[in-house]
Structure formats: C-alpha cells, structure tokens
C-alpha cells in the first residue's frame, strides 16, 4: 500500500512538530551561547513553543476529523483535547524546573521534556498500534533520562527502576500488539473493530496483554508498585510531568481502544478486568496514601486512585462518560500542577517541599501558600467548591446512568478514605504546634507562584462553569 503524504497530513501533526523543533532550538541556543543558556530563557522558549503548538492544535478542533498518513495518525476533537491537556501538563511542569537541575543541564532537561510531550501527544492521536508504541517509547525514553536528572542516589535509582519496570511493561504491550496484529492482519485500530474478530482467541489474549501494558502505564493496582518509588526519586517538575502527561497519553490510547477499536459486543467482557482493577485501585491507592510522608509518594498513590475515578467515568462506554472523564482529567491536571507548584516554592536544593514534615506550621509561615495547597489537596479529595467536587458528581452520575453503580459506590468509599490522607497534610499546616523546626527558607519562584495562581483560578472557573468538550468521540478511520 502506498501512502500519499499531502500538506494536510503535515498540518495534522504540526503541533507535535512545533514542540519537537522547539526542543532542538533550545539545544541549539545552548550550544551557540557563550555560557549555558539561562534557566528562564530555556523555560520561556519551551513554554512558548508549547503554547504555539496548543494554539495550532486547537484551531483544528471544530474542523472535521482528518485521518493522516494512511491512518497512522488521526486528527480529531478527541486527540486534540488530550493533546491540549498534555501540553498544559508540559508547560505547567516545565516552568517548575529549578535547582537541583543545574544550569548546565537546563537545556537538555527542557528539550527532553518537550520531546516527552511530543511522545504523549503522539499517543493521543495515534491511529494504529505502531504509532502508539512509538509515542509511548518516545515519552518513556525522555522520562528515563529526566528521572535521573537530579544529582542524588534516589534520582538515579528512580531512573533505573523506571527503565527496567517500564520496559517490562512495554514488552507486555508489544506482545499484545503482535497478537492483535496476528488476529486482524493489520496494526490499525480501525481493523480491530471488525465484528468477525469477536470470537478470535488472538484478540482476547492480545487485547488482554495490551491492557496489562496500559494498566502498568496508568499505574493501576496490581501494576502500581513502581509509581511511588519512581515519583519519589525523580525531581519535582519531572514528577509533576509524569503524574499527568503519562496518564493523559495512556488514557487517550485506552479510550480510543475501548470506544472505537473493539468489535461490537466484546467491550463489556474484555474490559471487565479493567473495571475491577480500577475498583481495587480506588481503594488500594487511597489506603496506600494514608501511610506516606512524602508529597511525591502521596501524589503517586493519589494518582492511582484518581485514574480509578476516571476509569469509572469511562465504564459503560457512553459519550457523556468520556466527556466527564476528560473533564476530570483536566481538573486532575490542574490540581496536581498546583500542588507541585506550591511544593516547588517551598523547595531549596534538596526538594524540601516534597517532605510532608516541612509543611508543619506552614499555615503560619505562609498563609497564602498554605491556603492554595489546602485548596489543591481538598480539590483532590473532592470537596467543594472545586472541580474535584463537580467532577465526582459527574462521574457518579455517569456510572449510575451506565449501569456501573457499583463502581460509583467504590468511588465513594475510596474518597472517604482519601480524605484522611489529604486532610492530614492540611492538619500539619494549620495545627498549632510550637515545637516545629521545619524548613523555613523559600527561594524566590515567581513562575511557580504564577502557575499555582492560574491553577487555582482555572479550578474555580471549572467548578462554576463546567464546560465538557462535546466533539470528542474517538474515531479510528
């Protein structure tokens, strides 16, 4: 089969190309400038590139879907919305880059983050299994390096751990893809939706292995053990990026697989393990959160549960469910980025903002920062007036409407558990405690403060003006 590549095809991937070229540009500038490129220059250039990419991507939102490169990449409302969320995650975490990422590494870090964003964006628009894998590996390779960026043993451990475990999961996924290829004779998602495949054993085994890979990337229980360790060792901005972009990209792949690429009638049975795993994740993630003393580990466990909430919205495969999943994913993005931004403002050379012990008495030392942190944590717990609250009610309604009320009940139980973990941090910040010797220093971090403020405003606006994108049904051809 020959593929005629036209300008329209290149337009479809233009946002990705813009981001990739920005990464090259940052490296080039670093090479050309007499000293190392300054932190602000690298960050602002990277952010500007991503903003341009976001604008270019959103221009195509209302135009009809376009299948580029012979079905390898699909430009549609679905992919664009996910790409925008990924870009927001990229910008939001890039501007948090501060020490301990030294100046000589800043250009490389920025470029890697940009290319990681490219990988996740590619996953969001992938039309066949090969592109999914390409995007996934691009994202993962960037993350392996980024995790080891800080000059600490824990950071190197994190990188190694992520490399080994993630490769294993990629192996599962690749094997699943091979079997899916064997079943349909094609790598395209479109050819999987063939009703004749509904009884093919290869589809079931391949689909199962593929979903194992997905579950690993989403860090669902029982494939979650890597995420707290990797998150803990990685530098703060990288953790922020990983906690959102990886999940967003993988969720996009999962949603496309689930909504558009399965033969009719197989979804309920093939995906049942995913719903069960999501239910376990909602409980186990929130229970795991209770014992944490480190913000990054807390967010890792919280992420395990939050993905469970998002999958609850998807269960049943309704259009509204997908919209609410995207709404909640966006809310989750801003809550996480906001919390990481505050942690960054507290951090010096050793990432003090990540140790929950340092939040003791924070309410007195910095009332504004503590109030914002409280807001983000309570948003994750789903308390009003936040998008977390509204997102939960939307997810609950969609699960009730789609006949998955049991997942809604599990969500409620998980949320009740999670409150304790989130509120523990809040308590540490506000409780009167005269005998604390917490970390007192604050390096100036105007970008992080700006990011926290923006996240705050966006979450409030999302609560009272809950826009859920309507043009998002995934397509495969």
Partner 1 sequence: MIELLLILVPVVIGAAMQFGRDDENEKWSRWTGALVAAVMFFLALASRGTEWSFRWLSRPFTSAFHFGPTAISYWIVLLLAVCTFSAILAVNQPRRRRFIGQLLMLEGTMMGLFLARDLLAFALFWDAMLLPVFFTLLGWGGHSGTAWRYFLYNFAGGLTLLLATAAFGMLYGSTDVIGRTDVHLVGAWVPWIFIGFSFAFLVKTPVWPLHTWMPITYSDTPSPMVAVVSAVQSKAGLYGFIAIAMATMPDYVKTYAPWLIVLGIVSLLYGAFIALTQNDAKRIVAYSSLSHLGLIVVAIASFNPIALQGAVLYIIAHGLFSAAIFLTLGYVESREETRSLVRLGGLGASNPRLAGALCIAALAALGLPGLAGFVGEIVILTGVFQAGLVWPAILALIPIVLASAYMLRLFQGIMNGPEVPDLPVRADLNWIEGLALAPLVIALVVLGVNPHALTTFNPSAYNATTVSQGASK
Residue 360 has which token pair?
Answer: 């003791």
Find the helix packing angle between 272-289 and 405-430, rounded to 10°: 20
Length of the chain: 477
Contacts of 336 (CB under 8 A, 6+ apart): 240, 243, 244, 299, 303, 376, 380
Q: Which is nearer to partner 1, 70 or 469 (CB)?
A: 469
Nearest-angstrom CA–CA distance, 347 and 326: 31
Sole binder of partner 1 in the list 31, 368, 450, 457 (CB under 8 A) = 368
* 266-275 LR contacts (CB < 8 Å, sep 24+): 266/198, 266/203, 267/317, 270/204, 270/207, 270/208, 270/211, 271/211, 271/315, 273/208, 273/211, 274/211, 274/214, 274/215, 274/220, 274/311, 275/311, 275/315, 275/404, 275/407
By the rule CB under 8 A, 436 interacts with partner 1? no
Q: Which of these segments, 112-120, 143-151, 290-298, 382-390, binds partner 1 (CB under 8 A)?
A: 382-390
Sole binder of partner 1 in the list 8, 59, 405, 450 (CB under 8 A) = 405
Sole binder of partner 1 in the list 76, 155, 286, 398 (CB under 8 A) = 398
Report, in Å, the least distance between residue 258 CB and partner 1. 20
Question: How would DSSP label each residue in 274-289?
Answer: HHHHHHHHHHHHHHHH
Q: Each residue of 356-379: b (16+ CB within 10 Å) or e? A: bebbbbbbebbeebbebbbbbbbb
Q: Which of residues 153-172 bind partner 1 (CB under 8 A)?
A: none
By the rule CB under 8 A, 385 interacts with partner 1? yes
Q: Which helix (H) or strand (E) holds 10?
A: helix 7-12
By the rule CB under 8 A, 419 interacts with partner 1? yes
By the rule CB under 8 A, 437 interacts with partner 1? no
Q: Which of these segments, 73-81, 219-227, 396-404, 436-444, binds partner 1 (CB under 8 A)?
A: 396-404
By the rule CB under 8 A, 468 interacts with partner 1? yes
Q: Which is nearer to partner 1, 45 or 380 (CB)?
A: 380
Dihedral sign, CA of 326, 331, 332, 338? Answer: positive
By the rule CB under 8 A, 384 interacts with partner 1? yes
By the rule CB under 8 A, 460 interacts with partner 1? no
Question: How would DSSP label each residue in 278-320?
Answer: HHHHHHHHHHHHTT--BHHHHHHHHHHHHHHHHHHHHTT--HH
Total number of residues binding partner 1 (CB under 8 A)?
34
* Binding characters for partner 1, 310-349, by CB under 8 A (x = yes): ----------x-----------------------------
Residue 303 has which token pair?
Answer: 């992420």
Q: Which of these segments, 119-127, 180-188, 222-230, 406-414, binds partner 1 (CB under 8 A)?
A: 406-414
By the rule CB under 8 A, 396 interacts with partner 1? yes
By the rule CB under 8 A, 383 interacts with partner 1? yes
Report, in Å, the least distance between residue 400 CB and partner 1. 5
Q: Which is nearer to partner 1, 171 or 403 (CB)?
A: 403
By the rule CB under 8 A, 378 interacts with partner 1? yes
Question: How would DSSP label each residue in 99-157?
Answer: TTS-HHHHHHHHHHHHHHHHHHHHHHHB-BHHHHHHHHHHHHHHHHHHHT-SSSHHHHH
* Phi, psi (rounded to 5 degrees) for 286: -70, -35
Residue 66 DSSP SS3? strand
Q: Which of these segments, 243-251, 286-294, 350-358, 378-386, binds partner 1 (CB under 8 A)?
A: 378-386
What does the CA dihedral 178, 180, 182, 186 come to, rounded to 10 degrees? -100
Sole binder of partner 1 in the list 22, 281, 354, 415 (CB under 8 A) = 415
Q: Which of these segments, 118-126, 237-245, 285-293, 399-407, binds partner 1 (CB under 8 A)?
A: 399-407
Report, in Å, the least distance between residue 278 CB and partner 1. 17
Q: Which of these segments, 19-27, 239-247, 345-353, 384-392, binds partner 1 (CB under 8 A)?
A: 384-392
Report, in Å, the least distance between residue 465 CB and partner 1. 9
By the rule CB under 8 A, 371 interacts with partner 1? yes
Sole binder of partner 1 in the list 134, 423, 438, 475 (CB under 8 A) = 423
Nearest-angstrom CA–CA distance, 475 and 89: 24
Q: Which is nearer to partner 1, 3 or 413 (CB)?
A: 413
Sole binder of partner 1 in the list 48, 291, 416, 457 (CB under 8 A) = 416
Contact residues: partner 1, CB under 8 A: 320, 367-368, 371, 378, 383-385, 389, 392-394, 396-398, 400-401, 405, 408-409, 412, 415-416, 419-420, 423, 426-427, 430-432, 464, 466, 468
């Amino acid at each position: 089969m020959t593929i005629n590549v036209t300008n329209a095809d290149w337009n479809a991937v233009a946002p990705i190309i813009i981001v990739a070229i920005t990464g090259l540009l940052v490296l080039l500038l670093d090479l050309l400038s007499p000293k190392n490129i300054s932190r602000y220059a690298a960050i602002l250039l990277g952010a500007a590139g991503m903003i341009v990419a976001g604008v270019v991507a959103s221009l195509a939102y209302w135009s009809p879907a376009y299948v580029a490169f012979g079905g390898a990449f699909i430009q549609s409302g679905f992919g664009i919305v996910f790409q925008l969320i990924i870009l927001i995650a990229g910008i939001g975490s890039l501007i948090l880059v501060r020490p301990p990422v030294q100046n000589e590494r800043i250009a490389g870090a920025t470029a890697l983050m940009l290319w990681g964003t490219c990988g996740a964006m590619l996953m969001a628009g992938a039309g066949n299994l090969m592109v999914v894998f390409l995007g996934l590996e691009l994202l993962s390779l960037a993350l392996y390096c980024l995790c080891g960026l800080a000059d600490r043993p824990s950071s190197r451990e994190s990188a190694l751990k992520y490399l080994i475990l993630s490769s294993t999961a990629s192996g599962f996924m690749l094997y699943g893809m091979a079997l899916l290829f064997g079943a349909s004779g094609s790598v395209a998602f479109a050819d999987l939706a063939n009703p004749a495949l509904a009884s093919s054993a290869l589809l079931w085994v391949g689909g199962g292995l593929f979903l194992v890979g997905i579950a690993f990337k989403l860090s669902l229980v029982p494939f979650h053990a890597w995420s707290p360790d990797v998150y803990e060792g990685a530098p703060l901005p990288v953790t922020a990026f990983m906690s959102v972009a990886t999940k967003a990209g993988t969720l996009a792949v999962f949603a496309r697989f689930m909504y558009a690429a399965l033969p009719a009638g197989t979804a309920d049975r093939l995906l049942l393990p995913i719903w069960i795993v999501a239910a376990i994740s909602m409980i186990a993630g929130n229970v795991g959160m209770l014992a944490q003393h480190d913000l990054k580990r807390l967010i890792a466990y919280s992420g395990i549960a939050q993905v469970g909430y998002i999958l609850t919205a998807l269960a049943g495969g309704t259009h509204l469910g997908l919209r609410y999943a995207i709404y909640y994913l966006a809310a989750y993005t801003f809550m996480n980025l906001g919390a990481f931004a505050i942690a960054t403002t507290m951090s010096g050379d050793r990432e003090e903002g990540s140790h929950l012990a340092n939040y003791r008495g924070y309410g007195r030392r910095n009332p504004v920062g503590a109030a914002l942190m409280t807001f983000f944590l309570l948003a994750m717990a789903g308390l009003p007036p936040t998008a977390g609250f509204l997102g939960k009610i939307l997810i609950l309604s969609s699960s009730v409407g789609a006949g998955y009320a049991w997942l809604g009940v599990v969500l409620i139980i998980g949320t009740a558990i999670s409150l304790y973990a989130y509120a523990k941090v809040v308590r540490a910040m506000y409780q009167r405690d005269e005998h604390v010797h917490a970390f007192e220093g604050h390096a100036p971090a105007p970008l992080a403060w700006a990011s926290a403020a923006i996240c705050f405003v966006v979450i409030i606006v999302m609560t009272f003006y809950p826009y859920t994108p309507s043009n998002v049904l995934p397509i495969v051809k």
